[in-house]
């Protein structure tokens, strides 16, 4: 009899990917298909759910073709924490252009910065679960923006879903929502219950969204499912599209970063972990830092504590950087020397790594010290944690008149180091509240970047584990499918069975003093930004006051 396989489907920012795994975590087949992002104006980022589903279908069919004749026992979806708006007849427009096909507000969309600021000033119990500060990347600020700026969309919408939940709905027809999505991104208080009791109606009313409670919360969810539990079964229509048999169990959806955490936290031998907590760092377009504890811990500027959003009985905290791979891409693209580099972002990164090899042939500390006079403050797209300030901006210091490839290589390495210092700042904020991280397990596209991995080890002083198995994010969501199929009793058991081994990159003690000094510069640059913002705010106030500057 053919052993069962489990289908994991990951919808990221730029593509949908699918992978088929067996119960040991071995990858049998995979596929990928691009997804378009639309930017009608600054700060807006939108997608189309129809395009996302098209990409899912293509990726699944490609994975099936590569795997050959296998028996699929269950499937699961993870996705970015994007907002999907639907009406009785399908998609509802979310952008000022009125294009109904564009019904998805992408996670990285920052249109609702002002609404997030207002909600934070109002306060409420849900804010205590996000480090005291809600982000414009979460759903409540985006919903408030839509209500104010697109009232026709607000009236037409019969459902607002997180993208993982929309994918489950598209595959099964059910309207069950995931605890993972609603607790982490919607302000749902999961400890109150899973039948809608966790919505704080006083909070919704105070922030101007009280009408979401008028229909018994039907538009935002009344039935919640724990991760790894079946949310429904594959419908006839979806099965035909995907080339799968109908009736397969479909697990509750997951946010992509949590799928990555699930696929990596169990990686490596049990003895590899230190005395503290293990942190999962999922680093792609953005970076997400997830740690699970047995105790309730609140860290200012860090999202959580979130009960039971990942493995049973445990509490998660989530930090992150709104731009990681996207920041590296931007730093490369804005430099004049990038025009002669072929192969896109990955090709440019490889070329710059070669330039760094030439500048510091011995590698190690000598390579790190190339940036002695080049410093980057990485908050180009705001600071998600631990400062929780979406309006921060980045900077590069130590520029010269050089404009060639060697100069770009310095920008590139200094940016990688700055991202590592951002992670160190997050770990320091956790340690101040008694949550000490002893080791980091890394996944995502940047886990393949040797400079990124070694900078994190050296800057934080933590060993970094990189899973040896392929596609840890897909493996994590396939683990949820295996649990939904009944192969494992829960996600803890499934993760231990499917995560596989990892290689360990240990910090270089000789580099510690250098990174300590660079981290001090990093901290000073953040303070300088605050000083500049205060100075410019004062200038604006003087200009607006009577007797101010005349035109």
pLDDT, tens digit (0-9, with 9 covering 90-100), for 122-169: 999 999 999 999 999 999 999 999 999 999 999 999 999 999 999 999
The answer to whether position 541 is within a domain reads no
Q: Structure tokens of 469?
A: 């198995």
What is the band of 550 on the pLDDT scale with cuts at 50, 70, 90? very low
- CATH code where residue 337 lies: 1.20.58.2240
- pLDDT value of position 12: 96
Q: Structure tokens of 181?
A: 């999505």
Looking at the structure, tell me whether residues 436 and 299 fall in a common domain: yes
- pLDDT value of position 538: 84
Looking at the structure, tell me whether residues 211 and 280 fall in a common domain: no
What is the band of 545 on the pLDDT scale with cuts at 50, 70, 90? very low
Looking at the structure, tell me whether residues 72 and 143 fall in a common domain: yes
Residues 6+ apart with CB under 8 A from 487: 4, 6, 23, 73, 494
Q: How far apart are CA 513 and CA 4, in angstroms?
A: 51
The answer to whether position 540 is within a domain reads no
What is the band of 540 on the pLDDT scale with cuts at 50, 70, 90? low
Q: Is the pLDDT of residue 271 over 70?
A: no
Looking at the structure, tell me whether residues 435 and 378 fall in a common domain: no
- pLDDT value of position 539: 58
The answer to whether position 548 is within a domain reads no
Does the N-terminal peptide bond of residue 287 adopt cis geometry, omega within 30 degrees of 0? no
Looking at the structure, tell me whether residues 173 and 312 fall in a common domain: no
Residues 6+ apart with CB under 8 A from 100: 90, 91, 92, 93
- pLDDT value of position 548: 38
Average pLDDT over residues 507-515: 98
Average pLDDT over residues 301-312: 95
Would you tell me the crossing angle of helices 163-172 and 49-67 to the nearest 10 degrees?
70
The answer to whether position 214 is within a domain reads yes
> How do residues 436-470 score in pLDDT, each as one tens digit?
999 999 999 999 999 999 999 999 999 999 999 88
Average pLDDT over residues 76-104: 95
| Of the candidate ranges 50-54, 276-280, 341-345, 503-507, the one whose mean pLDDT is the lowest | 341-345
Looking at the structure, tell me whether residues 516 and 451 fall in a common domain: no
Residue 101 — left, alpha, or beta (φ > 0 → left; ψ -120 to 50 → alpha)? alpha
Looking at the structure, tell me whether residues 501 and 517 fall in a common domain: no
Residue 517 — left, alpha, or beta (φ > 0 → left; ψ -120 to 50 → alpha)? alpha
Q: Is the pLDDT of residue 543 over 50?
A: no
The answer to whether position 551 is within a domain reads no
Average pLDDT over residues 376-391: 96
- pLDDT value of position 341: 83
The answer to whether position 263 is within a domain reads no
Q: Is the pLDDT of residue 544 over 80?
A: no
Residues 6+ apart with CB under 8 A from 477: 8, 9, 10, 76, 77, 78, 254, 259, 262, 263
Domains contained in the chain, number: 3
Share of the chain above pLDDT 90, in %: 91
Burial 4-37 (b: 16+ CB within 10 A, else e): bbbbbbbbbbbebbbbbbbbebebbbbbbbebeb
Q: Structure tokens of 488?
A: 């494992």
Average pLDDT over residues 398-423: 98
Question: Between β-strands 83-87 and 159-162, what pairing exists: parallel, antiparallel or unpaired?
Answer: antiparallel
The kind and range of the H/E element at 192 are: none
The answer to whether position 69 is within a domain reads yes
Q: Is the pLDDT of residue 270 over 90?
A: no
Looking at the structure, tell me whether residues 123 and 145 fall in a common domain: yes
The alpha helices in 94-224, defined as continuous H runs, are 113-122, 125-128, 139-149, 151-156, 163-172, 179-185, 201-206
Looking at the structure, tell me whether residues 356 and 247 fall in a common domain: no
- Helix, strand, or coil here: 305? strand
Which sign, positive or negative, has the C-alpha torsion 460, 463, 468, 469? negative
pTM for this structure?
Answer: 0.92
**Phi, psi angles (nearest 5°) of residue 469:** -70, 155
- pLDDT value of position 408: 97
Q: Strand ranges (DSSP E) for 196-325? A: 224-225, 230-233, 249-251, 254-255, 277-283, 287-293, 303-307, 315-321
**Phi, psi angles (nearest 5°) of residue 96:** -65, -20
Nearest in space to 167 (alpha carbons), one of 299, 55, 295? 55
Q: Is the pLDDT of residue 531 over 60?
A: yes
State the DSSP string of 42-96: TT--EE-HHHHHHHHHHHHHHHHHHH-S-EEEEEEEEE---EEEEETTEE---ST
Q: How far apart are CA 322 and CA 108, in angstroms?
A: 7
What is the band of 273 on the pLDDT scale with cuts at 50, 70, 90? low
Q: Indicate the burial class of 437 (C-beta count within 10 angstroms; 0-12, 13-18, 19 or more).
A: buried
Looking at the structure, tell me whether residues 165 and 60 fall in a common domain: yes
Average pLDDT over residues 268-296: 85
The last residue of one of the domains, among 255, 290, 310, is 255
> How do residues 88-97 score in pLDDT, each as one tens digit?
999 999 999 8
The answer to whether position 267 is within a domain reads no
Looking at the structure, tell me whether residues 396 and 445 fall in a common domain: no
- Cα dist from 439 to 461, 504, 512, whole Å: 9, 10, 16
The last residue of one of the domains, among 205, 223, 255, is 255
What is the band of 220 on the pLDDT scale with cuts at 50, 70, 90? very high
- Helix, strand, or coil here: 244? coil
- pLDDT value of position 2: 77
Average pLDDT over residues 295-319: 95
Nearest in space to 411 (alpha carbons), one of 378, 444, 459, 453? 378
Share of the chain above pLDDT 70, in %: 96
Q: Is the pLDDT of residue 208 over 50?
A: yes
- CATH code where residue 429 lies: 3.30.420.40
Looking at the structure, tell me whether residues 405 and 460 fall in a common domain: no
Q: How far apart are CA 93 and CA 336, in angstroms?
A: 38
Average pLDDT, the chain: 94
Domain that holds residue 310: 272-323+424-505
Residue 452 — left, alpha, or beta (φ > 0 → left; ψ -120 to 50 → alpha)? alpha
- pLDDT value of position 86: 98
Would you tell me the crossing angle of helices 491-498 and 256-264 to the nearest 10 degrees?
60
Does the N-terminal peptide bond of residue 305 adopt cis geometry, omega within 30 degrees of 0? yes
């Amino acid at each position: 009899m053919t052993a069962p396989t489990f289908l994991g489907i990951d919808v990221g920012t730029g593509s949908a990917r699918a992978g088929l795994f067996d119960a040991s975590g071995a990858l049998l087949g995979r596929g990928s298909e691009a997804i378009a992002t639309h930017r009608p104006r600054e700060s807006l980022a939108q997608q189309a759910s129809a395009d996302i589903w098209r990409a899912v279908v293509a990726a699944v069919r490609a994975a099936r073709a590569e795997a050959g004749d296998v028996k699929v026992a269950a499937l699961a979806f993870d996705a970015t924490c994007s907002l999907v708006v639907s009406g009785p007849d399908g998609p509802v427009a979310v952008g000022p252009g009125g294009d109904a096909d564009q019904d998805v507000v992408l996670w990285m969309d920052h249109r609702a910065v002002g609404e997030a600021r207002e909600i934070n000033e109002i306060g409420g119990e849900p804010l205590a679960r996000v480090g005291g500060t809600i982000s414009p990347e979460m759903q409540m600020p985006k919903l408030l923006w839509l209500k104010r700026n697109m009232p026709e969309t607000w009236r037409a919408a019969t459902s607002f879903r997180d993208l993982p939940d929309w994918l489950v709905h598209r595959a099964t027809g059910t309207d069950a929502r995931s605890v993972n999505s609603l607790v982490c991104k919607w302000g749902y208080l999961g400890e109150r219950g899973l039948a809608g009791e966790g919505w704080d109606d006083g909070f919704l009313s105070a922030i101007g969204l009280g009408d979401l409670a008028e229909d018994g919360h039907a538009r935002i969810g009344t039935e919640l499912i724990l991760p790894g539990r079946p949310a429904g079964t594959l419908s006839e229509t979806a099965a035909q599209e995907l080339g799968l048999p109908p009736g397969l169990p479909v697990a509750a959806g997951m946010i992509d970063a949590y799928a990555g955490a699930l696929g990596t936290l169990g990686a490596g031998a049990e003895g590899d972990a230190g005395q503290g907590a293990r942190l999962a760092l999922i680093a792609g377009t953005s970076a997400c830092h997830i740690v699970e504890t047995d105790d309730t811990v609140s860290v200012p500027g860090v999202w959580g504590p979130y009960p039971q959003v990942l493995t049973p009985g445990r509490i998660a905290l989530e930090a992150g950087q709104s731009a990681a791979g996207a920041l590296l891409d931007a730093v490369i693209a804005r430099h004049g020397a990038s025009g002669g580099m072929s192969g896109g972002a990955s090709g440019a990164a490889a070329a710059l790594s070669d330039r760094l090899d030439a500048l510091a042939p011995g590698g190690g500390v000598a390579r790190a010290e190339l940036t002695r006079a080049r410093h980057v403050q990485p908050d180009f797209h705001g600071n998600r944690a631990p400062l929780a300030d979406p309006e921060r901006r980045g900077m590069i210091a130590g520029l010269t008149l050089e404009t060639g490839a060697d100069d770009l290589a310095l920008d590139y390495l200094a940016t990688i180091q700055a991202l590592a210092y951002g992670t160190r700042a997050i770990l320091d904020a956790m340690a101040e509240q008694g949550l000490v991280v002893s080791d980091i397990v890394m996944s995502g596209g940047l886990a393949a970047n040797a400079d990124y991995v070694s900078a994190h080890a050296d800057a934080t002083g933590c060993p970094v584990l990189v899973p040896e198995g392929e596609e840890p994010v897909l493996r994590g969501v396939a683990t949820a499918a295996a649990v939904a199929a009944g192969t494992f009793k829960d996600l803890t058991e499934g993760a231990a069975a499917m995560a596989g081994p990892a290689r360990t990159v240990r910090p270089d003690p000789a580099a510690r003093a250098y990174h300590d000094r660079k981290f001090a510069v990093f901290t000073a640059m953040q303070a300088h930004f605050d000083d500049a913002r205060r100075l410019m705010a004062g200038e604006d106030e003087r200009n607006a006051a009577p007797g101010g500057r005349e035109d």
